[in-house]
Amino acid sequence: MNNNYTKGLNIIKNEVLTIPKSSGIYKMIDNLGNILYVGKAKNLKKRVKSYSKLNNQSQRILRMISQVNSLDIIITNSEVEALLLESNLIKKHKPRYNVLLKDDKSFPNILLTSGHKFPQIKKHRGRKSEKGFYFGPFSSAGSVNRSIDALQKGFLIRNCTDNVFKLRTRPCLQFQIKRCTAPCVGLVSENSYKKQIDQAKTFLSGNSDQIKKEFAKKMEECSDELDFENAAVWRNKIRALSNIQSFQNINVKGLGDADIIAIFQNYGKVAVNISFMRSGSNFGDHTYFMSHLSEMKPENLVAEFLSQFYENKIPPKEIIVSQLPSNLTLISDALSSLVDYNIKIVCPQKGLKKKLIDSSILNAEISLNRKISEDNKTNKIFDELSSIFKIKNDINRIEVYDNSHIQGKFAVGAMIVSNKDGFDKSSYRKYNLSVNSNITGGNDYNMMKEVINRRFRNSLSKKLNNNLPDLILIDGGRGHLNTVVKSLTELKLDYIKVCAISKGIDRNAGREQFHLVGQKTFTLKHNSSVMFFLQKLRDEAHRFAITAHRLKRKKSISYNKIDEIEGIGNIKKNALLKYFGSAKEVSKASINDLMKVEGISKNVAQKINDFFTNE
Tell me the pLDDT tens digit for each residue of 528-557: 889 999 999 999 999 999 998 888 877 766
Nearest to 104, CA basis, from 91, 88, 93: 91
Q: Which residues lie closer than 8 Å to 50 by C-beta, 6 or more apart?
A: 56
pLDDT of residue 480: 92
Domains of the chain: 3-98 (3.40.1440.10), 108-247 (no CATH), 258-369 (3.30.420.10), 398-556 (3.30.420.340), 561-613 (1.10.150.20)
Cβ(94)–Cβ(280) below 8 Å: no
Which residues, listed in sequence order, are joined to residue 40 by a DSSP beta bridge?
25
Q: Does residue 207 register a pLDDT over 70?
A: no
Alpha-carbon separation of residue 343 from 262, 282, 336, 439 (angstroms): 18, 20, 5, 59
Give the pTM: 0.64
Please state the φ and ψ torsions of residue 499, each to the nearest 5 degrees. -135, 130
pLDDT of residue 267: 77
Highest-confidence segment of 83-87, 489-493, 565-569: 489-493
pLDDT of residue 380: 92
pLDDT of residue 248: 46
Higher pLDDT, 74 or 241: 74
Cβ(54)–Cβ(65) below 8 Å: yes
Q: In the 3-class helix/strand/coil scheme, how is 265-299 assigned residue by residue?
A: EECCEEEEEEEEEECCEEEEEEEEEECCCCCCCHH
Output the CA angle 568-574-578, nearest 5 degrees: 135
β-strand 344-346 against 318-321: which pairing, if any? parallel
Strand order in the sheet with 258-266: 101-102, 281-290, 269-278, 258-266, 318-321, 344-346
Q: What percent of the chain has pLDDT over 70?
A: 89
Q: Does residue 436 register a pLDDT over 60?
A: no
Q: Which residues lie closer than 8 Å to 528 by C-beta, 6 or more apart?
A: none
Confidence of residue 319 (pLDDT cuts 50, 70, 90): very high
Q: Does residue 421 register a pLDDT over 80?
A: yes
Residue 481 is which amino acid?
A: L
Q: Does residue 352 register a pLDDT over 80?
A: yes
Crossing angle of the two packed helices 208-224 and 228-247, in degrees rounded to 10: 160
Tell me the pLDDT tens digit for each residue of 242-273: 665 554 444 556 677 889 999 998 877 888 99
Cβ(527)–Cβ(535) below 8 Å: no
pLDDT of residue 482: 92
Distance CA 473, CA 400 (A): 5
Distance CA 351, CA 333 (A): 27
Other Cβ atoms closer than 10 A to 221? 13
Q: Which residues lie closer than 8 Å to 272 by C-beta, 6 or more apart?
A: 261, 262, 263, 287, 288, 289, 290, 301, 305, 364
Q: Where are the alpha helices (DSSP H) in 116-207?
A: 141-155, 162-167, 173-176, 190-204
Cβ(599)–Cβ(578) below 8 Å: no
β-strand 471-475 against 24-29: which pairing, if any? unpaired
* Helix (DSSP H) and strand (DSSP E) numbers for the chain: 20, 19
Q: Where are the alpha helices (DSSP H) in 111-172?
A: 141-155, 162-167
Q: E-assigned strands of 77-175?
A: 101-102, 108-113, 121-125, 132-135
Distance CA 599, CA 570 (A): 12
pLDDT of residue 242: 66
Confidence of residue 440 (pLDDT cuts 50, 70, 90): very low
Nearest to 57, CA basis, from 102, 11, 100, 1: 1
Which residues, listed in sequence order, are joined to residue 41 by a DSSP beta bridge?
24
Average pLDDT value for residue range 311-340: 88
β-strand 471-475 against 497-502: which pairing, if any? parallel
Average pLDDT value for residue range 278-288: 78
Q: Lowest-confidence range among 1-10, 64-73, 193-202, 580-589?
A: 1-10
Residue 225 is which amino acid?
A: E
Highest-confidence segment of 303-312, 406-415, 488-497: 488-497
Q: What percent of the chain has pLDDT over 90?
A: 15
| Cα dihedral 506, 511, 515, 521 sign | negative
Nearest to 121, CA basis, from 189, 186, 203: 203
pLDDT of residue 176: 87
* Average pLDDT value for the chain: 82
R_g of the chain computed on alpha carbons: 30
H or E element that contains 607: helix 602-613
Q: Lowest-confidence range among 110-124, 139-153, 443-457, 599-613?
A: 139-153
pLDDT of residue 497: 93
pLDDT of residue 559: 61
Tell me the pLDDT tens digit for each residue of 76-102: 888 888 888 888 888 778 888 887 766
Is the bond preceding 325 in cis, omega lying within 30 degrees of 0? no
Distance CA 210, CA 214 (A): 6
Q: Does residue 439 register a pLDDT over 80?
A: no
Confidence of residue 402 (pLDDT cuts 50, 70, 90): very high
Cβ(412)–Cβ(431) below 8 Å: yes
Distance CA 270, CA 259 (A): 19
pLDDT of residue 444: 83
Q: Lowest-confidence range among 158-162, 200-204, 211-215, 548-552?
A: 211-215
pLDDT of residue 247: 47
